[in-house]
Structure 1
Amino acid sequence: RAEAGLLLPERRIGLAAHDFQQAIAAPEAVLSRARRDGEAETVPSRWLNRLVNLMAGLPDQGGETALAGMRQRGAHWTGIAAALDRP
């Protein structure tokens, strides 16, 4: 890999994780995923499932409320996207 000038997979993953950490630390960030790919439904990433499960499992810390707020704000943006597709 080195002779071909290719990064090691671990290095590439580490750089992607660093990029994500930098982006998600912004005052506002949008996390999204496609629900469909052509005619088939997609499966959320394991990371996204873990995040949702973590937040849903923290009622005393406001996790459920935060998750509901995130979903509500997301519905606003998906509504705008759906309106763009209407004739």
Structure 2
Amino acid sequence: MKNIVVFVLLSIAFFSCRENQVASEQMDRAETLLPVHPDSAYAILEGIALPDKLNERQFARWCMLYSRAADKLFKDMLYTEQLNRALD
């Protein structure tokens, strides 16, 4: 029984880390595209599923990149709650 519980917890940790890694790779790609192709960077950042579920550091980075891309493309900015969370 103990082994099953440990296995389940390790599986949850592995898959949650994997999701954060995928989001981090997408943000890396968006950051390199941002100066030249802000529309592509914006599309990549829009494609990140559930950014509110990212850890605090990645969420702050996502907000910064998203805001920079939105500003260059004259798109709507993020909600105040999201920006305050990123600032914290």
The answer to whether TM tops 0.5 is: no
User: TM-score scaled by structure 1?
Assistant: 0.34
User: TM-score scaled by structure 2?
Assistant: 0.34
Structure ranking higher in helix proportion:
2
Which of the pair has the greater relative contact order for Cα pairs under 8 Å at 6+ separation?
2
Structure ranking higher in strand proportion:
1
Decide which structure has the larger Cα Rg and report it: 1
